Structure 1
Amino acid sequence: MAAIEFVANSSLELVKTVITFLTDPKNFGTNNQWTLIRPATVEAITDKAILKGVGDGKDEIYIGIKIESSGAAGTDAAIVLNGFAGYDSGLEWEEQPGAIYHKYLPIIPLVETSRLNCWLTATTSRFILIIQLSTQYECCYMGFFKPVAVERQYPYPLAIGGSYIQGKSWSSTSAGHSGFMNPGSDSYGGLGALGTVPTADTPAQDTTSLRIRRPDGTWRAAQNKGPGETALKFEKLCVWPQNTKPTNVLTVLDNSLTIENVIMFPLLLYETYPAGVIGQLAGIYFIGNREDLAAKDTLIHEGRPYKVFSNVHRRDNDEYFAIEWF
Structure 2
Amino acid sequence: MAFEIGTASDYRDLLDRFHTFITTHADLVAANQQWQVIRWTTDAQNKELILKAPGLAGAEEIYCGMRTYESASSAYYMWDLNGFIGYNAANDFYTQPGAISSWLPMMSLWNTAIPYWFVANGRRAVVVAKISTVYQTAHLGFMLPYATPGQYPYPLLIGGSMTGQRGRNYSLISPNHRHFVDPGEDSQNAANTACMLRGPSGAWLSFQNRYYSGYEYRYDGRRPVWPGVYSRLDSLRESPDGTYVLTPIVLLQYNSSSDHDLFGEIEGCFHVSGFNNAAENLINIGGVDHLVVQNVHRTTVEDYWALRLE
TM-score for the superposition, normalised by structure 2: 0.91
* 1:137 maps to 2:122: no
Deviations 1:154-210 (A, max 9, x none): 0100000000112522111111100001100012x1xxxxxxxxxxxx3x232x211
Q: How does 1:138-287 map to 2 (within 5 A)?
A: 138-166=136-164, 167-187=167-187, 189=188, 202=189, 204-206=190-192, 208-228=193-213, 232-234=219-221, 236-245=222-231, 246-254=233-241, 261-273=243-255, 275-287=260-272
- Name the amino acid aligned to 1:178: R
Provide the secondary structure at the position in 1 that maps to 2:235. coil
Shift of 1:230: 7.6
- Name the amino acid aligned to 1:297: N
The 10-residue stretch of structure 1 (84-93 or 223-232) with the greater mean CA deviation from structure 2:
223-232
Q: Structure 2, unaligned stretches of length 5 or more?
A: none
- RMSD over equivalenced CA pairs, Å: 2.0
Partners of 2:157 and 2:116 lie apart in 1 by: 21
Instruction: Return structure 1 stretches of 4+ with deviation > 3 angstroms.
Output: 42-46, 228-231
Partners of 2:200 and 2:299 lie apart in 1 by: 36
Partners of 2:96 and 2:294 lie apart in 1 by: 33
Partners of 1:268 and 1:248 lie apart in 2 by: 20
- Name the amino acid aligned to 1:96: Q
Provide the secondary structure at the position in 1 that maps to 2:19. helix
Partners of 1:44 and 1:85 lie apart in 2 by: 29
The 10-residue stretch of structure 1 (147-156 or 267-276) with the greater mean CA deviation from structure 2:
267-276
* 1:67 maps to 2:51: no
Partners of 1:211 and 1:132 lie apart in 2 by: 22
Partners of 2:247 and 2:280 lie apart in 1 by: 19
Query: Is contact 1:48-1:66 (8 Å) kept?
Result: yes
Query: Is contact 2:238-2:245 (8 Å) kept?
Result: yes
Partners of 2:151 and 2:186 lie apart in 1 by: 34
TM-score for the superposition, normalised by structure 1: 0.87
1:299 is aligned, of 283, 295, 304, to 283
Provide the secondary structure at the position in 2 that maps to 1:38. strand
Query: Is contact 1:125-1:144 (8 Å) kept?
Result: yes
Deviations 1:107-140 (A, max 9, x none): 000122x210001111111111110111111111
Shift of 1:47: 1.6
Partners of 2:50 and 2:34 lie apart in 1 by: 14
Query: Is contact 1:222-1:238 (8 Å) kept?
Result: yes
Q: Structure 1 residues 316, 109: closer, same or farther in 2, change over 3 A?
A: same
* 1:321 maps to 2:309: no
Partners of 1:314 and 1:280 lie apart in 2 by: 23
Partners of 2:238 and 2:121 lie apart in 1 by: 30
* 1:95 maps to 2:95: yes
Partners of 1:124 and 1:157 lie apart in 2 by: 14
Which residue in 2 is equivalent to 1:105?
A: 104
Query: Is contact 1:247-1:318 (8 Å) kept?
Result: yes
Provide the secondary structure at the position in 1 that maps to 2:100. coil
Percent identity (aligned)? 31
| Number of matched pairs | 300
Which structure is higher in strand share?
A: 2
